[in-house]
């Protein structure tokens, strides 16, 4: 009986030793779970830092009865791993006046340590188009601020985008 108690640890001598052994096991389990959670969240955070979005330009396009605003973004990947831009959504404003909604869904792969152009098309609303034309006609050259506010899904992580460009 003494052999099994000492070597197999089937029965501890008192309640205090049992509590100490239980606490030791629980502490080890908590450290393991905490380390796994920290690793998960740190890896998710580092994915969010992979892609940078830079507004390169807004260009009019389309026809008179079906106008389109072309939004050009440079997506920069300064890391050693490729990233996938799954979707981009947002709105385009001119001098603070809403112009159009922009959305693009589909994978675009950005290679490591490179920049890729992301071209989006937006169909402006009639009121947004009227307000934007009015702003362009009344503002002096070089004083028109075009802005994009939205978000992008990069490798499953949502990244906010807020870019402004002076036209």
- Place domain 49-166 in its CATH homologous superfamily: Immunoglobulins (2.60.40.10)
Instruction: Give the dihedral sign, CA 133/134/139/140.
Output: positive
Phi, psi of 63 (to 5 degrees): -115, 180
Q: What is the pLDDT of residue 116?
A: 92
Q: What is the pLDDT of residue 87?
A: 93
Q: Give the C-alpha separation, 166 to 86, whole Å.
A: 28
| pTM, entire model | 0.63
Tell me the residue ranges of DSSP E strands in 63-125.
67-77, 83-94, 97-110, 114-124
Q: Give the C-alpha separation, 167 to 163, whole Å.
A: 13
115, 135 contact by CB (below 8 A): no
Q: What is the pLDDT of residue 122?
A: 84
Q: What is the pLDDT of residue 136?
A: 67
Q: Give the C-alpha separation, 105 to 82, whole Å.
A: 18
Per-block average pLDDT, block size 10, for the chain (167 residues)?
47 69 80 78 59 86 81 89 91 85 90 91 76 69 81 88 86
Q: What is the pLDDT of residue 43?
A: 61
Boundaries of every domain in the chain: 2-47, 49-166
């Amino acid at each position: 009986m003494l052999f099994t108690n000492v070597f197999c640890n089937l029965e501890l001598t008192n309640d205090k030793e049992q509590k100490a052994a239980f606490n030791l096991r629980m502490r080890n389990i908590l450290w393991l779970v905490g380390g796994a959670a920290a690793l998960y969240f740190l890896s998710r955070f580092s994915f969010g830092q992979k892609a940078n979005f830079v507004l390169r330009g807004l260009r009019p396009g389309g026809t008179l009865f079906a106008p389109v605003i072309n939004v050009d973004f440079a997506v920069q990947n300064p890391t050693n791993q490729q990233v996938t831009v799954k979707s981009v959504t947002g709105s385009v404003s001119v001098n603070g006046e809403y112009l159009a909604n922009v959305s693009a869904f589909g994978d675009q792969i950005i290679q490591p340590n490179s920049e890729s152009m992301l071209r989006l098309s937006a169909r402006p609303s009639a009121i947004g188009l009227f307000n934007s034309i009015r702003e362009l006609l009344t503002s002096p050259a070089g004083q028109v601020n075009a802005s994009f506010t939205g978000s992008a899904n990069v490798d499953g992580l949502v990244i906010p985008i807020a870019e402004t460009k002076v036209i």
